Amino acid sequence: MRALVWEGVDALAVRDVPDPRLENRQDAIVRVRRTVTCGSDLHLLGGYIPFMRAGDVLGHEFLGEVVEVGPDVRKHSIGDRVVVSSFVACGRCWYCANDLHSCCDNSNTNPAVTETVWGQAAAGCYGYSDAMGGFRGSHAEYVRVPFADVGAFKVPDGVSDERAVFASDSAPTGWMGAHLGGVRQGDVVAVWGAGAVGQLAARASMLLGAERVIVIDRFDYRLQMTERHIGAETINYTRTSVAGELRERTGGRGPDVCVEAAGMEAHGIGPEYLYDQVKQQLRLRQDRPPAVREAIHACRKGGTVFVLGAFTGMVDTFPLGALMNKGLTLRGAQTHGPRYIPMLLDRMERDEVVTEHLATHVLPLAEGPLGYQLFKEKQDECVRAVFTP
């Protein structure tokens, strides 16, 4: 089959790779109809996560049709149209039983790497290097879906492919930021990043009762889209002081909940950002956290900062003093997809969560390298490239 493979830093190609086979009794094989680029793939593309090997298939967000099922698959049959959670979860361990699916203890077949780096292993994830289980990614014609009854969800007939594919990862991620960030009726929420994840965190905050939601970015086309399709307020941080403006819009107090959806390659302004960038480029550390820093400074005392953006290692420009003295709660997580996907598919069916506007570039898989270039460089007003293998 054809697949989009990583060949080295900033090098992608479409190649033939072996077809996947059923390997375990709970596996299904899915023929991919839609698969989407994600901000998390950019960290792999740029070599910031040093466990990719040339020839690895990228992609972790996808929707398709079940074409084969193992003997222990109960929920799905051949022909079902399903969306699949980006993280692989067993459904049976303590973490899965407690709705912490991206912390699953059984799905990462190569736990040693993340155990060493983080103290405990993360779950497996499609197309996300050996460190996350070495599962082949979804930018391909077919994917093997382990624990198919846990990770795959039948899509209601009324929900289009372009909408439902976002239930794989960005919609549950955004929802999780608002939900586990503790958004309550009447809150003011600020979101850093107007990509798909930030926009859907803003939408989730509104549906959870926030009174005002303010999204921050530097790309006007993304901010305008956020105003038009999500209905949130915006700030362009290259033209306005974010901290001052947030204070202004919250009666001097600051937002109750701050959601960071920019990640380890976040951009910034000022001397601290220059320092972050130099250290990252010299590979003295993996992450640069300007948006996390700004969120901690802007958040009201006693508020919550939720980190949705992906980070991998240590940072040395982290405002621990502000966190402690302001009485903040800091949380973060990879997405617990199965916890939120059925609810999100229902909301998609009721038009409460709409995502078609995020699919700015729908391309055949053969044009995968172009799709990634547009997405990475934010060219041609790209928000997400969607591939149709």
Ligand X SMILES: NC(=O)c1ccc[n+]([C@@H]2O[C@H](COP(=O)([O-])OP(=O)(O)OC[C@H]3O[C@@H](n4cnc5c(N)ncnc54)[C@H](O)[C@@H]3O)[C@@H](O)[C@H]2O)c1
Using the minimum distance from each CB to ligand X, give the nearer residue, 34 or 76.
34
Least spacing, CB of residue 270 vs Zn ion, in Å: 29
| Rounded distance between C-alpha atoms, residue 202 and residue 210, angstroms | 9
Residue 206 has which token pair?
């509104």
| Rounded distance between C-alpha atoms, residue 210 and residue 381, angstroms | 28
Residue 90 interacts with Zn ion (CB under 5 A)? yes
What is the CB neighbour count within 10 angstroms for residue 243?
Answer: 13
Least spacing, CB of residue 151 vs ligand X, in Å: 14
Least spacing, CB of residue 265 vs ligand X, in Å: 7
Least spacing, CB of residue 287 vs ligand X, in Å: 10
Least spacing, CB of residue 290 vs ligand X, in Å: 5
Which run of H or of E encompasses 385? strand 385-388
Using CB atoms, what's the residue nearest to Zn ion? 38
For the chain, state the CA radius of gyration. 20
| Rounded distance between C-alpha atoms, residue 168 and residue 36, angstroms | 9
Buried b (16+ CB within 10 A) or exposed e, 357-368: bbbbbeeebebb
The count of chain residues that interact with Zn ion, using the rule CB under 5 A, is 9
Q: Are 2 and 16 in contact (CB under 8 A)?
A: yes
Residue 129 has which token pair?
């290097």
Using CB atoms, what's the residue nearest to ligand X? 263
| Rounded distance between C-alpha atoms, residue 21 and residue 143, angstroms | 9
Partner interacting with residue 219 (select from ligand X, Zn ion, none; CB below 5-8 Å by kind): ligand X
Least spacing, CB of residue 199 vs Zn ion, in Å: 14
Residue with tokens 């900062």: 305
- Considering only the stretches 4-12, 83-91, 268-276, 377-385, report the one whose residues sit in contact with Zn ion under the rule CB under 5 A: 83-91
Partner interacting with residue 163 (select from Zn ion, ligand X, none; CB below 5-8 Å by kind): none
Using the minimum distance from each CB to ligand X, give the nearer residue, 70 or 263.
263
Using the minimum distance from each CB to ligand X, give the nearer residue, 349 or 381.
381
| Rounded distance between C-alpha atoms, residue 118 and residue 102, angstroms | 14
Least spacing, CB of residue 150 vs ligand X, in Å: 17
Using the minimum distance from each CB to ligand X, give the nearer residue, 310 or 374.
310
Provide DSSP, 162-197. Answer: HHHGGGGTHHHHHHHHHHHTT--TT-EEEEE--SHH
Using the minimum distance from each CB to ligand X, give the nearer residue, 1 or 315.
315
Q: Binder to Zn ion among 5, 28, 29, 38 (CB under 5 A)?
A: 38
Partner interacting with residue 90 (select from ligand X, Zn ion, none; CB below 5-8 Å by kind): Zn ion
Q: Are 82 and 164 in contact (CB under 8 A)?
A: no
Residue 96 interacts with Zn ion (CB under 5 A)? yes
Binding positions for Zn ion, 106-125, rule CB under 5 A: 106
| Rounded distance between C-alpha atoms, residue 389 and residue 387, angstroms | 6
Residues of this chain that interact with ligand X (CB under 6 A) are 38-40, 43, 169-170, 173, 192-198, 216-219, 222, 237, 261-263, 266-268, 290-291, 308-310, 334-335
Residue 93 interacts with Zn ion (CB under 5 A)? yes
Q: Are 173 and 200 in contact (CB under 8 A)?
A: yes
3-state secondary structure 274-287: HHHHHHHHCCCCCC
Residue 311's SS3 state is coil
Using the minimum distance from each CB to Zn ion, give the nearer residue, 96 or 210.
96
Q: Binder to Zn ion among 27, 56, 162, 169 (CB under 5 A)?
A: 169
8-state DSSP, 226 = I
- Considering only the stretches 138-146, 168-176, 344-352, 363-371, report the one whose residues sit in contact with Zn ion under the rule CB under 5 A: 168-176
Binding site for Zn ion (CB under 5 A): 38, 40, 89-90, 93, 96, 104, 106, 169
